[in-house]
Structure 1
Amino acid sequence: MAKIDLDKLDLDELKTLQKDVARAIDQYEAKKRKEALDAVEALAREKGFSLSELTGAAPAKKGKAPLPPKYRHPENPALTWSGRGRQPAWIKEGLEAGKSLDDYLIGK
């Protein structure tokens, strides 16, 4: 490796060098980590397992699927609610007007 004479660099060059070295170290570590993970996953597959099965870790989720709607607005079928989370305003208004949640059920 070429030796760098740090005494000849000004402050901006030293800071740039510091950032470049930190970035290079991060990239090197990420590359080695990926290589190790790939090798372990390949060995697990070779033995008939997935890595998550062996480590007890849950496989990565891609996000929750939205819940199917349970309630529908009687006049505007585009307005629905799954029954979870905060009640929509149209449900609250209907309940205050004396209706029940059963009045909004889909497929009753």
Structure 2
Amino acid sequence: MTEINLRGLDKNELLQLQKDVAKELKEYDERSRKEARAKLEAEAAALGFTLEELTGKKPIKKANPPKYAHPENPTMTWSGRGRQPAWIKEHLEAGKSLDDLQIRK
């Protein structure tokens, strides 16, 4: 393993190193988890089952993708399901259409 002289780094360099290490650890865990799942699914398939049949768990459902976005702040979105956000209500109360906020692909 490469040795790094941490005492020779300033605070900003140490903070960046910390972020880089945390990101790499997260990606490493994700890769390891995917590899393990693939191995387990292959073993279950070889025995004539799905992994979900053996564990009794259903696959995790994905969240509904957003259908509407705030006109001034596109990071504020709504899937069109559940309770309407305040910005949607304000838009509709102003007499505007929900179609105006629809995300176009």
* TM-score after normalising by structure 1: 0.54
Alpha-carbon distance in 2 for matches of 1:2, 1:57: 42
Alpha-carbon distance in 2 for matches of 1:11, 1:59: 43
Structure 1 unaligned blocks of 5 or more:
65-108
Among the aligned pairs, what percent are the same residue? 48
Alpha-carbon distance in 2 for matches of 1:55, 1:25: 27
Alignment of 1:1-108 (within 5 A): 1-61=1-61
Alpha-carbon distance in 2 for matches of 1:34, 1:40: 10
Runs of 4+ in 1 over 2 A off after TM superposition: 59-64
CA RMSD of the aligned region, Å? Answer: 1.9
Alpha-carbon distance in 2 for matches of 1:62, 1:7: 45
Alpha-carbon distance in 1 for matches of 2:20, 2:2: 16
Counterpart code for 2:10: D
After superposition, the Cα gap between the structure-2 partners of 1:19 and 1:36, relative to the gap in structure 1 and judged at 3 Å, is same
CA-to-aligned-CA distance 1:59-97 (integer Å, 9 cap, x gap):
444689xxxxxxxxxxxxxxxxxxxxxxxxxxxxxxxxx
The count of aligned residue pairs is: 64
Between structure 1 and structure 2, the one with the greater Rg is: 1
